[in-house]
Each structure stands twice: as structure tokens, then as C-alpha cells.
């Protein structure tokens, strides 16, 4: 695989899914299809089930009933079908940047020369060439999240699951990371499911946004984001359409939050 080849994405389907933690019902009859190569964001108030949804998609959690299908087939636990980027950078502090990125390949038994070359390709893609020998402590928060991203991408997953990956970053670094993520996604073409609390970020990145309601109500809104690509920083962010989407979603979130207070 050379750096310019498209990896592509898989279709993902959630069908009639029910899930709860003990007596706490989170989803009753959740149905979602994410198309191959689609960039889907999930937003909603804290505790509405976003991380739970991602964990059901990864197979970390099993539905009580219903199914999660990848390319129309049941998830196989042994199939490493996804890359997962967590909210907090979860790097091994004693390993260098390069060793962190190649760790998953090492676990797969890939020989050192091949995995180092591959890790270098992805470090370069996230703009960290020259930092391969640094320990995580010597990297900024944004750089650590780039390593995290490279670590997920190096496995060349056709599905990328991201749980508020840029939540801890300042606004300017976050916008830079948004552009870098779009550049990589444009190049690699994976299916992405992205969780965020940030409405701007969701609108800027996504083909589609799901607004989750309070449990166990499921999807409050499924909104297609019809902004042309490539999305170009200030031009996109200051366009009338961007503001219309943003306003609509702010109203939706307020409505979801209000319904929780009333009920």
C-alpha cells in the first residue's frame, strides 16, 4: 500500500437494536445505516448514549437484541474492523512516537522493518515527521492526538470510530485538526463515526449528523449536511448555510435538554 492509495470504507448498519446497562435502558429499537465512506457525526447531551453507541459499533458492547452489521454481515469479534480514537490521548508514555504508532502492527506480528516504514508513512501524514523519537510527554496535546490518530490509521481500518478526539484541544488547534482529519479522510476514504459536543465541528466535518435524544428515545434528528466539499476553513465556517445548520442544531440540542428538565 502506498501513501496515495484509497483504503475505502465499509457500510455499517444498526438494526432494531436494544441495549441497556442493568435496569437503565439506553436504546430501544435503534436503526441507523452509515454508508461506505460516509462521515457521520453524533451529537447530544452528556449521558445520552454516544459512547455507548460507539462501543456497540466496535463490538466492545453486545446489544441485548437486534444487530450491528458490517458490509451486511454480523460483527466478528476477532475481525479488527475498526480504528478507535479515544477522547484522551492514550499513548504509552515510555514508548517513542514511532513505537506508539507501530505498536498495533507489532502485536499483529509484522516484522520490524515493514512496520517501521508503515508507521513512518502515517506519522508523515499527520505532520509529525521528525518527531518519531520523542516521548509523548515532550509533545503538545495536539501533537499527542495526532499520534493517536496515526496509531488508528496505521492499521488501515475501513471504519474509523472517534469519541470526542479533539475535545481537550484549544479552539485553534481543534480547527487545524479538523482540516487535517478531512484531508486524511479525503485521501483514505474510510467510513467515519465521530462523536463531538461541538456543533461547529460536527457541521464542518460531516456528511450527516445524528442528534441523540435522552435515553431511551434514540435519534432525535437525522440531518444531512449539504455543504460543498472541499470545506475550506473560514469560507465554509462563515457561509450562510453553515450558520443555518448551526442554528438548527443549537435549537435541537436546547429542545432535547429542555425535554429532560420537563420529564
- Give residues in contact with ligand ATP (CB under 6 A): 21, 24, 26, 44, 46-52
Among residues 60, 38, 63, which one has the least CA distance to residue 158? 38
**Among residues 44 and 83, whose Cβ is nearest to ligand ATP?**
44
67 scored as a contact of Mg ion (CB under 5 A): no
Query: Whose Cβ is closer to Mg ion: residue 47's or residue 233's?
Result: 47
User: Should residue 51 be labelled a site residue for Mg ion when binding is judged by CB under 5 A?
Assistant: yes
Alpha-carbon distance values, 240 to 5, 30, 234, 247 (Å): 35, 33, 12, 11
In whole angstroms, the minimum distance from the beta carbon of 158 to ligand ATP comes to 24
Residue 242: φ, ψ to 5°:
-60, -45
In 3D space, the residue among 104, 202, 93 whose CA is nearest the CA of residue 152 turns out to be 104
Closer to ligand ATP by CB, 48 or 119: give it.
Answer: 48
Interface with Mg ion includes 28 (CB under 5 A)? no
Question: CA nearest 91: which of 101, 106, 80?
Answer: 101
Query: Is residue 5 packed enough to be buried (19+ CB in 10 Å), middle (13-18) or exposed (0-12)?
Result: exposed
**Binding at 26: pick from ligand ATP, Mg ion, none (beta carbon under 5-8 Å per type):** ligand ATP
Of 143 and 256, which CB lies nearer to ligand ATP in the complex structure? 256
Q: Which is nearer to Mg ion, 50 or 151 (CB)?
A: 50
**DSSP category for residue 48:** S
Q: Report the chain's terminal Cα–Cα distance, integer Å.
A: 53
- Residues with Cβ < 8 Å from 174, sequence gap 6 or more? 166, 198, 201
For Mg ion, the closer CB: 43 or 98: 43
Q: How far apart are CA 99 and CA 82, in angstroms?
A: 20
CB of 122 to ligand ATP, least distance (A): 27
Q: How far is the CB of 257 from ligand ATP (least distance, A)?
A: 12
Binding partner of 94, given Mg ion, ligand ATP, none, CB within 5-8 angstroms per partner class: none
Count of residues that bind Mg ion according to CB under 5 A: 2
Binding site partner of 254, from ligand ATP, Mg ion, none, Cβ cut-off 5-8 A by kind: none
Joined grid coordinates for residue 162 = 472517534
Q: In the bound complex, what is the minimum distance in angstroms from residue 86's beta carbon to ligand ATP?
A: 11
Residues at the site binding Mg ion, with contacts judged by CB under 5 A? 50-51
Amino acid at each position: 500500500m502506498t501513501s496515495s492509495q484509497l483504503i475505502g470504507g465499509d457500510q455499517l448498519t444498526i438494526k432494531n437494536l436494544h441495549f441497556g446497562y442493568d435496569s437503565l435502558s439506553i436504546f430501544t429499537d435503534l436503526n441507523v445505516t452509515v454508508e461506505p465512506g460516509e462521515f457521520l457525526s453524533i451529537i447530544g447531551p452528556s449521558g445520552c448514549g454516544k459512547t455507548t453507541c460507539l462501543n456497540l459499533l466496535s463490538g466492545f458492547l453486545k446489544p441485548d437484541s437486534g444487530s450491528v452489521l458490517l458490509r451486511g454481515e454480523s460483527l466478528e469479534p476477532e475481525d479488527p474492523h475498526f480504528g478507535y480514537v479515544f477522547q484522551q490521548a492514550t499513548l504509552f508514555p515510555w514508548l517513542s512516537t514511532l513505537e506508539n504508532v507501530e505498536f498495533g502492527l507489532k502485536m499483529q506480528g509484522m516484522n520490524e522493518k515493514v512496520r517501521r516504514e508503515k508507521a513512518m508513512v502515517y506519522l508523515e501524514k499527520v505532520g509529525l515527521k521528525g518527531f518519531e523519537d520523542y516521548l509523548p510527554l515532550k509533545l503538545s496535546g495536539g501533537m499527542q492526538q495526532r499520534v493517536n490518530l496515526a496509531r488508528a490509521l496505521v492499521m488501515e481500518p475501513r471504519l474509523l470510530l472517534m469519541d470526542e478526539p479533539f475535545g481537550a484541544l484549544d479552539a485553534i488547534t481543534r480547527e487545524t485538526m479538523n482540516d487535517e482529519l478531512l484531508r486524511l479522510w479525503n485521501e483514505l476514504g474510510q467510513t467515519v463515526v465521530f462523536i463531538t459536543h461541538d456543533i461547529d465541528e460536527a457541521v464542518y466535518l460531516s456528511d450527516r449528523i445524528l442528534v441523540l435524544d435522552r435515553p431511551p428515545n434514540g435519534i432525535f434528528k437525522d440531518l444531512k449536511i449539504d455543504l460543498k466539499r472541499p470545506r475550506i476553513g473560514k469560507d465554509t465556517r462563515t457561509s450562510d448555510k453553515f450558520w443555518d445548520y448551526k442554528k438548527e442544531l443549537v435549537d435541537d440540542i436546547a429542545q432535547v435538554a429542555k425535554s429532560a428538565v420537563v420529564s
